[in-house]
């Protein structure tokens, strides 16, 4: 599906606030509410919009400890990679997991309550996954920028 400028504007607006009414969106892109509704439905059908979600205040839900963990597997076989990926998807503490290039194989974004909970996660869950040869963790001191959306309009 090829996105035109209006689609991109709608997506940009929805990423900033998905609770906006169709009427409000229509006025911002100079289209009728019906046209905007049809465009949004088309974007959903084509999986450009995959889902709607909310962003929580990590401190208020007691998950303020943010860490990044790099994982190196003992071997780069397809079996080991797929097994690791299957198991990592079951861990709720892992917000994001990326297969990366370089010395390490994976980069995990992990959010828990505190350092004690992180240690428990590492000892009881993460290092229980077979074929992990090495891990390296880095902890967030301050969140400088966190953009949850993808910029479409430059």
User: How many whole angstroms separate alpha carbon 93 and alpha carbon 6?
Assistant: 37
Per-residue confidence band for 154, with pLDDT thresholds at 50, 70 and 90: confident
As assigned by CATH, the class of the 5-45 domain is mainly alpha
| Each residue's pLDDT tens digit, 32-83 | 999 999 999 999 999 999 999 999 999 999 999 999 999 999 998 999 999 9
Helix (H) or strand (E) run with residue 20 in it: none
Look up the pTM and report it. 0.88
Domain with CATH 1.10.10.10 in the chain: 5-45
Q: What is the sign of the dihedral through the CA atoms of 125, 128, 129 and 134? A: positive
Domain with CATH 3.30.70.920 in the chain: 65-139
Per-residue confidence band for 153, with pLDDT thresholds at 50, 70 and 90: confident
The correct answer on CATH 3.30.70.920 for the domain covering 65-139 is: yes
**Torsions phi, psi of 7, nearest 5?**
-60, -45
| Each residue's pLDDT tens digit, 139-149 | 999 999 988 88
Q: Are 10 and 36 in contact (CB under 8 A)?
A: yes
| Each residue's pLDDT tens digit, 94-105 | 999 999 999 999
Q: Which residue carries 């869950």 as its tokens?
A: 125
């Amino acid at each position: 599906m090829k996105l035109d400028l209006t689609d991109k504007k709608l997506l940009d607006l929805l990423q900033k606030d998905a609770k906006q009414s169709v009427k409000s969106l229509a006025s911002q892109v100079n289209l009728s509410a019906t046209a905007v509704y049809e465009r949004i439905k088309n974007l959903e059908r084509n999986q450009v919009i995959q889902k709607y979600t909310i962003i929580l205040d990590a401190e208020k839900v007691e998950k303020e400890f943010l860490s990044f963990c790099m994982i190196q597997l003992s071997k780069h076989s397809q079996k080991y990679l797929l097994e690791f990926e299957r198991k990592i998807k079951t861990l709720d503490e892992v917000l994001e997991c990326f297969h990366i290039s370089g010395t390490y194989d994976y980069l995990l974004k992990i959010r828990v309550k505190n350092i004690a909970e992180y240690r428990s996660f590492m000892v009881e869950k993460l290092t229980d996954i077979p074929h992990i040869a090495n891990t390296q963790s880095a902890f967030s001191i301050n969140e400088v920028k966190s953009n949850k959306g993808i910029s479409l309009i430059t």
